Amino acid sequence: MTQKYTKVRGMHDILPLEISKWQFVERVLTDTAKFYGYKEIRTPLVESRSLFERSIGSDTDIISKEIYAFKDRKGRDIALRPEGTASVVRAFIESGMSVEKKVFRFYYYGPMFRYDRPQKGRYRQFYQFGVELIGSNHPFFDGEVVAMLHTIAEKLKLNGYKFLVNTLGCSNCKTKYSDIIKDYFSGRKNNLCNDCIKRIINSPLRILDCKNPGCKQSISNAPLIGNILCNDCLYHFQKFQEYLKVNNVPYKVDPYLVRGLDYYTRTVFELYVEGDENAIAAGGRYDNLINQLGGPDIPAVGFAIGMERLISLVEYNTPSEPLIYFACIGEEAKIKGTKIINELRKEGITAETDYKEESLRSHLKTANRAGANWCIIIGEDEIKREEFIFKDMLSGKQITIPFNNYIKRIKELLKC
């Protein structure tokens, strides 16, 4: 028996029936990014494994459990990108752009890979649309990227969405808070899950993100970062919120919001719709990452949208594409028909036929199955009279059109 192939676990196909919805959403995202002044950047799907370890953090789930990594033929450690920020920063430094003192806005789109546990909204290959704004630590830029996500949510008519926002503080505040959280949970190990017990040593802040009911109980009384923030961090967080208020962005401060990637400092945020526990998009500020990856000391902020999650929430009716089907009966008609079909295609009109069909009846059946709006019929008689029949498939009405000047006539009939 021949082997039946199926998708690799965690992967998914995007079939022709769904593609126009994807293309619609992609257009909204790229148009919005352009209106906000972003330029597209495309980076490879593979990078050095160490780029992700250094940026996302070796103790994070993404690196310790989910990275797709392998050695290439020369023994180099390679990884499929689990996210886009590290690659954009790498390209930014490597290309020399980082020497220019200005604000850069990049957007990117493509597949990411994480060996996650597959379930609704969680895949091992998934698409992200992301933006990175590099070159300023002004809190209004944090507001601007969130406002851009808000514009996208409005344009796509998402229902009941809101942003959760928080600050992790600058690297000093973050370290101080991390130590406080470490002390707090060290005395409450009995209530924590095994993963969180391990996190106490290397990534205590990640405990705040745990969904385990026992951990959640302890988290609800954990010390708040707001009490230890330095004045600059407090000011930054206030100004960021001022921007959101002025621009009517629906948000709520979640004082325990942390992110699963180590590079964040200060602002972090996630976009949710009511009743869904998966974030549709998430991001934040990463003021030290460019420097950490060998570049100059340049601050940055950005986000990424999970496309599968976003698309599952968008309502979209696929518009039917106008189609002309050709029923060519006989060899001569087939030759004449192919010429007309190709002329119409050059004019931007969608036309197709099935060369195998011989009778008018079977042609009409095929035209119906293809969802054709019109059928052009050419048989021996039509060849003799140098004209073809143009049939409206819905009303059944038909007219004849001479072989000369048919493009103009068809365009009139199709109103294009």
302 binding ligand HAM? (CB under 6 A): yes
**DSSP state for residue 8 in the 8-state scheme:** P
The interface mask with ligand HAM, positions 313-332, x = CB under 6 A, is: --------------------
- Smallest distance from the beta carbon of 266 to ligand HAM, in angstroms? 12
265 binding ligand HAM? (CB under 6 A): no
279 binding ligand HAM? (CB under 6 A): yes
**DSSP state for residue 133 in the 8-state scheme:** E
Query: Using CB under 6 A, which of the segments 100-108, 115-123, 169-177, 383-391 binds ligand HAM?
Result: 115-123
Q: Between 85 and 366, whose beta carbon lies closer to ligand HAM?
A: 85
123 binding ligand HAM? (CB under 6 A): yes
- Smallest distance from the beta carbon of 62 to ligand HAM, in angstroms? 7
Query: Of residues 91, 306, 378, 391, which one binds ligand HAM by CB under 6 A?
Result: 306
Alpha carbons 77 and 124: distance in angstroms, whole number: 20
Alpha carbons 381 and 375: distance in angstroms, whole number: 17
Burial status of residue 63 (CB atoms within 10 A of its CB: 0-12, 13-18, 19 or more): buried
Distances (CA, A) of 396 to 235, 302, 373, 374: 71, 55, 10, 9
Please give the size of the binding site for ligand HAM, defined by CB under 6 A: 26
Closest CA to 267 of 251, 281, 285, 252: 285
Query: Using CB under 6 A, which of the segments 73-81, 117-125, 148-156, 223-231 binds ligand HAM?
Result: 117-125
Distances (CA, A) of 193 to 182, 214, 215: 15, 7, 7
User: Which residue has the CB atom at the shortest distance from ligand HAM?
Assistant: 306
206 binding ligand HAM? (CB under 6 A): no
- Smallest distance from the beta carbon of 83 to ligand HAM, in angstroms? 3
Query: Using CB under 6 A, which of the segments 40-48, 213-221, 303-311, 392-400 binds ligand HAM?
Result: 303-311
Closest CA to 244 of 146, 314, 134, 342: 146
283 binding ligand HAM? (CB under 6 A): yes
282 binding ligand HAM? (CB under 6 A): yes
Burial status of residue 271 (CB atoms within 10 A of its CB: 0-12, 13-18, 19 or more): buried
308 binding ligand HAM? (CB under 6 A): yes
Interacting residue ranges for ligand HAM, rule: CB under 6 A: 83-85, 114, 116, 121-123, 126, 128, 130, 132, 260-261, 279-284, 302-304, 306, 308-309
